[in-house]
Each structure stands twice: as structure tokens, then as C-alpha cells.
């Protein structure tokens, strides 16, 4: 029955054309903004850091002013439409915090390395069990009511650690949760030396602390004095921050408005925009229409539309490094056994459906070999992606195995006949039916057409995939968290993060995803987190990566840069690393076009 299916490359082209049938107008041709040279390695926590040589801010045009007072950002979704990051936490939501709040450590967009922020210097102890942090001075708390909450200091740091890691913290209404909490709370106590110096003590070796307290995760800094004076709810209605912008107004499901903080910011100087507003629109056609009409000044659309906009005079910028790994996950791979005494796979018992097709390794390999990655790369992503081999692993980060590239084609490469053979060997000669969640995602406008394309590929090997439109935050996340919905597939773009954190979150049971859970994975990860020597950690991480690779835990596809399209009449440039919690960030680096002609 499958002989009449068109060739997959033709299918991909057809789907892409259908998605991109939208006309755009105005302007002449432009080229993508040159970005800094891509580094040979990505952020690796360093033992000692200092604010002595900060990366300079991007050069701004000489003279002139921004042409508009308010910068309008046309974004896809806030993911979580509230500000208390510990409530069902997710790093994907942090674009909202980016203009107004700050973290202990920054990811430098030019060097792709962790560096100072509210912690202006930091040093790891020889036994890897504690960090000495010296805190910045002059980071003033601002809020829209003008209330004086002083400057950021050690009490604020301890307060935020307590919110996340103290189960009995007074006056906290909701317990903290996040896939990265297990790493944040490796810190078991904080010794305050003075207002601007602390020692963070860990229960296990914590060389990755810089990651867990960086802008890549959800432990952004809130004011202790505001909490004491106004209560937790003030963090939703009039949240204070030390960033270069101040929160002003939140329209649920629509927008968030910020205003420029008074004076010169302690780290960023004076930002270009008097106001910045983030607007949320899921529908791509609407975002496109708003942008072309000048109602927004930057936006995200799929690569076909991006190329059309560039050809007509708009400007493309992208993250300075890979920001996401696009992959397709399976639900139901809950092979691990629960052990509450070790905080191991809590809530897993009774969730494994042993006759689920996805639990069969040959089915998972067949699905991988049924998908033509190169066709999708060229047609849907316009060649602007690189290969992904194992979720959470990047060349240049610890645990990387250079043999994966050589082994990938035989194990995962496109081969429909071999995929059909694997289906027969797995006992599914007649195929089976399954379901897939279909949803848009911030920073990844291709996810919906990608899943639609995969649906067609799988028909060739007898898998009938029913696509269900669903809201990521409201529907999909609760279902994934419960482990009660086996038999689904879904495309997702996990953000680039420290490798250990990805394994703990996605394979150790500490994230909502529950991607691929086995006792071997958990025990090996547990060995990793109790190991201090960086060389030994590298070996263990590689072992974990090969478990994932050899068991076809998912469908790894691509490493992707975040792309944003700008109106060059209004915006000159935006340099951001892609490691920001919400993938896009460093909003203080959005530079106004201050010359008469467009800044192309």
C-alpha cells in the first residue's frame, strides 16, 4: 500500500512550499550580519573568574538617537506567562527576565564562555566541593513603584538559594521545581563572609556550578528586601530587578512592557531604547504580517520566509553559537526502577508499557533510518544547520566522542529498506499506529512542518502517525511530567546546556521530559556527580553518551543557530550567544539604527 507514496525529497519540498506561501514586500536585498568567529570550544566552567577584562559591548553607531522610543519584539511564546521562575520551572521562559533581572554568571556571546556578572569573581576549591564568590557592587534594585530595595548583596543570593533549595523556606507559596534544580541544590549551604562575599558549599563535587547559576537556567536573582516587605506575589505584579530595564506592565498572553532604568546601568551603560515590549503571537502568518507592516521591529519565522525577507531588504542575525538541538522524542521509555531513598526515578513504578512499540530498540532504529535528514536539512533548514549525534553532547564540551560522526551513518542513516527489515525483525511487519504532539516553540519556527514531514516518512515503513495540535506549556508538559501518555512522538529543540545537566535532567528523571530512563543511565550519572576529577568526569560522560547513542533514545537531527529577522530602519544589530535560558537573550545588546539610512 505504500508504493504510491511520493519520494520523500519531493514531499519535503511540497510541505516547505505550502508553509512559505506568504508574500512579503518592501526594500532591496541585504545580507546576513557578520557574526563573531565561532569559537573552537563552548563554555567550560573555569576554576577562577574575574571581572578585570569584561567583553566590550558591541560598537554602536556614532551620534544620533534611536528612531523610535519603543522597541517592539514579535516573539512566538513566553512558554510560562509568569515571573516566579521556580514555579514549574523551565529555562525556556527566561526571555521575560532578561531585560530586567540578572544572574550570577553571564554567557559571553563573543567567547561562548562563562564569565562574571553579579558574581564578579569566583574560585573553585581544590577539592571541587565549594566556590568562593565575590559579588558585584553598585547593582541597584529598581521596580516600577520606585521603592528603594538597596543594592544586590549576599542576602539576596542566600534568599534565592533558599527559594530553590530549602524545602521549609518561610512564606514561599509554591515548592520549587525545575530540571536543573538537582544541580542548583548541590549547594547545601552558603556561608556569608560579608555583604559582597560568600562561599557556596556543595554536597558533591560541583565543577559545573557556573552553569547552574548562569543565565542558562532559572535561578535568576530576586530581591530579598522586596520579598520581606511586599511578599511573594509582588514578584508577579511589581517585580524588582537589577537589569537595565524595569518591568512596567504584563498583559497575560499578549505582551510585557519594560522601561529603561534611570541613569547609567552598573554593567551595561545606557541602553538604546526608552521602552521595550515583548509581544507573543503563535501564528507565524500573523507574526510575519505584523513585522512587514512595521508593527514589530524584529521577529522569528521559518527559514523560507526569512530568506524572502532578507532578499527584500530586511536583516538576518543569528546566535553566535549553536543554540538548540532539534530532535524527535518518544514517550514511554521508562525502563528505570524507582528508589525514593536515592531520589531515583520517583513516580516511575507502573508506568512502563512493555508491549509499546517504542520500547523495542529495533523500532526506534527503524524510525531513525526512515528519515532523510539531508533532504530535510536542505529543504526545511536551507542547509543552515549541522549534524546532531547525541542529545546534550557538543563537540568541544566534555564527554564528546569523535567516533560518533563515523558510526552515525551505519546506525542512523537514511535507508528505507533496512528500516522495513528492522520493523519485521521487531515483530511489526504490518506496522502500527501512533500519535504525535504538534506545537510551535520559541526559537524553533520549523518544528510544526518538521513533524508533518516526519509523518509522511514514517508511512513508508507502515507507521501511521496521527498529529495532535497541543499547547506546549498547558497540555504537553503536564502529560510528559505524568508519564501517563506512552506512545507519542514530538519534535523538540533542547537548548544548549552543560552536558552533565542535560543527562541529569533528561535521563536522570529530574525534568518533565523523561526522555530515556534506565538503571544503567541513572547509576552512571550518579557516579559522575560524585566524581571530582575532570578527566574522570570526561570519561564517564562519554560512557553515558554511548549508552544513549547505542540505544537510539530518540531521533537526533540537527544543531541549530537561533535566527532573528530585523527591520534595519530601526535596529542595527543584536549579538546573543544562544545559551540564554530562552535561547534568545542579551536584550541590552539590541542596538538601535541611528543613521539616516537603514543599517544593513
Cell of 411: 546506525
Which strand (E) or helix (H) includes residue 75? strand 70-75
Share of the chain above pLDDT 90, in %: 83
Mean pLDDT of 242-252: 97
pLDDT at 375: 98
Which strand (E) or helix (H) includes residue 71? strand 70-75
pLDDT averaged over every residue in the chain: 90
For 526-564, the pLDDT digits (tens) are: 999 999 999 999 999 999 999 999 999 999 999 999 999
Is residue 395 predicted with pLDDT exceeding 90? yes
Evaluate whether residue 36 is within a structural domain: no
Evaluate whether residue 468 is within a structural domain: yes
DSSP conformation letters of 340-378: GGGTBSTT-TT---TT-GGGSHHHHHHHHHTS-HHHHHH
User: Does residue 449 sit in the same domain as residue 478?
Assistant: yes
Cell of 520: 544503567
For 186-241, the pLDDT digits (tens) are: 999 999 999 999 999 999 999 999 999 999 999 999 999 999 999 999 999 999 99
Mean pLDDT of 136-149: 98
Q: Which of 318, 325, 114 is nearest to 215 (CA)?
A: 114
- CATH number for position 206: 3.40.190.10
Confidence of residue 63 (pLDDT cuts 50, 70, 90): low
Q: What angle do CA 98, 215, 108 make, to 5 degrees?
A: 100
User: Does residue 422 sit in the same domain as residue 357?
Assistant: yes
pLDDT at 31: 37
Contact 320, 575 (CB under 8 A): yes
Evaluate whether residue 236 is within a structural domain: yes
Is residue 567 predicted with pLDDT exceeding 80? yes
User: Does residue 177 sit in the same domain as residue 296?
Assistant: yes
pLDDT at 49: 55
Number of domains the chain contains? 2
**560 Cβ contact list (under 8 Å, min separation 6):** 322, 323, 324, 325, 326, 381, 385, 444, 493
Confidence of residue 16 (pLDDT cuts 50, 70, 90): very low
Evaluate whether residue 164 is within a structural domain: yes
User: Does residue 269 sit in the same domain as residue 349?
Assistant: no
User: Does residue 129 sit in the same domain as residue 274?
Assistant: yes
Q: In whole angstroms, what is the distance from residue 392 CA to residue 197 CA?
A: 33
282-283-284-285 Cα dihedral, nearest 10 degrees: -150
pLDDT at 582: 67
Evaluate whether residue 298 is within a structural domain: yes
pLDDT at 360: 98
Is residue 347 predicted with pLDDT exceeding 70? yes
Domain of residue 80 covers 48-57+65-321+562-592
For 464-487, the pLDDT digits (tens) are: 999 999 999 889 999 999 999 999
Q: In whole angstroms, what is the distance from residue 352 CA to residue 335 CA?
A: 7
**Residue 433 main-chain phi, psi, to 5 deg:** -105, 145
User: Does residue 556 sit in the same domain as residue 566?
Assistant: no
Confidence of residue 442 (pLDDT cuts 50, 70, 90): confident
Query: Greatest CA span in the chain, whole angstroms?
Result: 74
Contact 466, 434 (CB under 8 A): yes
Mapped onto helix, strand or coil, the DSSP state of residue 136 is coil
Q: Is 519 left (phi over 0), alpha (psi -120 to 50) or beta?
A: alpha
Is residue 311 predicted with pLDDT exceeding 80? yes
Is residue 52 predicted with pLDDT exceeding 90? no
- CATH number for position 519: 3.10.105.10
Evaluate whether residue 541 is within a structural domain: yes
Is residue 26 predicted with pLDDT exceeding 50? no
User: Does residue 297 sit in the same domain as residue 338?
Assistant: no
Q: In whole angstroms, what is the distance from residue 85 CA to residue 218 CA?
A: 6
User: Does residue 548 sit in the same domain as residue 406?
Assistant: yes
User: Does residue 132 sit in the same domain as residue 153?
Assistant: yes
Mean pLDDT of 405-419: 98
User: Does residue 301 sit in the same domain as residue 387?
Assistant: no
Share of the chain above pLDDT 70, in %: 89
Evaluate whether residue 17 is within a structural domain: no
Evaluate whether residue 101 is within a structural domain: yes
pLDDT at 263: 95
Mean pLDDT of 344-352: 95
Query: Which of these ranges, 24-28, 265-269, 563-567, 571-575, has the smallest mean pLDDT?
Result: 24-28
- Strand-pair category, 488-492 with 555-560: unpaired
Confidence of residue 335 (pLDDT cuts 50, 70, 90): very high
User: Does residue 181 sit in the same domain as residue 293?
Assistant: yes
User: Does residue 421 sit in the same domain as residue 317?
Assistant: no
Q: What is the pTM of this model?
A: 0.86
Amino acid at each position: 500500500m505504500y508504493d504510491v507514496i511520493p519520494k520523500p525529497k519531493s514531499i519535503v519540498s511540497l510541505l516547505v512550499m505550502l508553509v512559505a506561501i506568504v508574500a512579503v514586500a518592501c526594500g532591496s536585498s541585504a545580507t546576513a550580519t557578520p557574526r563573531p568567529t565561532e569559537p573552537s570550544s563552548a563554555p567550560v566552567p573555569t576554576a577562577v573568574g574575574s571581572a578585570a577584562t569584561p567583553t566590550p559591548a558591541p560598537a554602536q553607531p556614532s551620534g544620533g538617537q534611536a528612531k523610535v522610543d519603543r522597541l517592539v519584539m514579535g516573539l512566538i511564546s513566553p512558554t510560562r506567562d509568569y515571573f516566579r521562575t521556580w514555579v514549574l520551572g523551565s529555562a525556556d521562559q527566561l526571555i521575560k527576565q532578561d531585560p530586567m533581572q540578572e544572574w550570577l554568571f553571564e554567557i559571553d556571546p563573543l567567547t561562548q564562555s562563562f564569565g562574571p556578572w553579579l558574581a564578579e569573581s569566583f574560585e573553585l576549591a581544590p577539592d571541587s566541593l565549594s566556590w568562593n564568590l565575590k559579588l558585584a557592587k553598585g547593582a541597584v534594585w529598581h521596580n516600577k513603584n520606585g521603592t528603594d530595595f538597596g543594592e544586590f548583596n549576599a542576602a539576596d543570593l542566600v534568599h534565592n538559594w533558599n527559594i530553590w533549595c530549602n524545602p521549609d523556606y518561610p512564606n514561599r507559596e509554591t515548592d520549587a521545581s525545575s530540571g536543573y534544580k538537582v544541580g542548583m541544590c548541590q549547594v547545601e549551604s552558603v556561608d556569608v563572609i560579608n555583604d559582597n562575599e560568600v562561599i557556596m558549599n556543595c554536597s558533591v563535587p560541583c565543577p559545573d556550578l557556573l552553569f547552574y547559576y548562569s543565565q542558562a537556567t532559572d535561578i535568576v536573582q530576586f530581591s530579598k528586601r522586596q520579598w520581606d516587605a511586599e511578599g511573594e506575589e509582588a514578584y508577579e505584579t511589581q517585580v524588582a530587578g537589577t537589569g537595565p530595564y524595569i518591568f512596567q506592565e504584563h498583559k497575560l498572553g499578549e505582551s510585557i512592557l519594560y522601561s529603561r532604568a534611570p541613569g547609567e546601568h552598573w554593567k551595561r551603560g545606557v541602553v538604546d531604547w526608552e521602552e521595550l515590549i515583548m509581544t507573543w503571537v503563535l501564528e507565524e502568518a500573523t507574526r510575519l504580517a505584523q513585522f512587514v507592516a512595521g508593527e514589530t521591529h524584529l521577529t522569528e519565522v521559518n527559514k523560507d520566509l526569512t530568506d524572502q525577507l532578507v532578499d527584500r531588504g530586511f536583516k538576518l542575525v543569528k546566535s553566535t553559537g549553536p543554540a538548540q538541538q532539534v530532535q524527535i522524542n518518544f514517550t514511554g521509555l521508562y525502563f528505570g526502577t524507582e528508589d525514593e531513598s536515592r531520589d531515583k526515578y520517583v513516580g516511575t513504578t507502573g508506568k512502563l508499557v512493555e508491549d509499546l512499540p517504542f520500547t523495542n530498540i529495533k523500532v526506534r532504529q527503524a524510525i531513525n533510518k526512515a528519515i532523510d535528514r539531508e533532504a530535510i536539512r536542505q529543504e526545511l533548514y536551507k542547509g543552515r544547520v549541522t549534524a546532531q549525534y547525541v542529545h546534550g553532547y557538543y563537540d568541544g564540551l566534555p564527554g564528546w566522542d569523535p567516533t560518533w560522526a563515523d558510526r552515525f551513518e551505519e546506525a542512523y542513516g537514511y535507508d528505507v529498506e533496512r528500516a522495513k527489515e528492522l520493523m519485521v525483525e521487531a515483530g511489526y511487519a504490518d506496522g502500527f499506529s501512533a500519535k504525535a504532539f504538534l506545537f510551535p516553540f520559541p526559537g524553533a519556527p520549523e518544528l510544526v512542518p518538521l513533524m508533518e514531514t516526519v509523518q509522511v516518512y514514517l508511512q513508508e515503513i507502515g507507521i501511521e502517525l496521527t498529529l495532535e495540535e497541543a499547547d506546549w506549556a498547558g497540555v504537553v508538559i503536564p502529560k510528559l511530567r505524568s508519564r501517563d501518555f506512552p506512545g507519542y512522538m514530538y519534535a523538540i529543540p533542547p537548548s544548549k546546556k552543560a552536558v552533565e545537566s542535560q543527562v541529569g535532567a533528561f535521563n536522570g528523571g529530574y525534568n518533565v521530559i523523561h526522555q530515556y530512563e534506565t538503571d544503567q543511565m541513572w547509576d552512571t550519572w550518579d557516579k559522575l556527580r560524585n566524581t571530582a576529577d575532570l578527566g574522570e568526569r570526561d570519561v564517564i560522560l562519554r560512557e553515558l553518551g554511548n549508552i544513549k547513542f547505542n540505544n537510539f533514545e530518540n531521533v537526533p537531527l540537527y544543531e541549530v543557530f537561533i535566527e532573528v529577522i530585523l527591520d534595519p530602519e530601526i535596529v542595527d544589530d543584536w549579538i546573543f550567544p544562544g545559551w540564554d535560558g530562552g535561547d534568545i537573550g542579551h536584550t541590552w545588546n539590541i542596538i538601535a539604527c541611528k543613521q539616516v539610512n537603514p543599517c544593513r
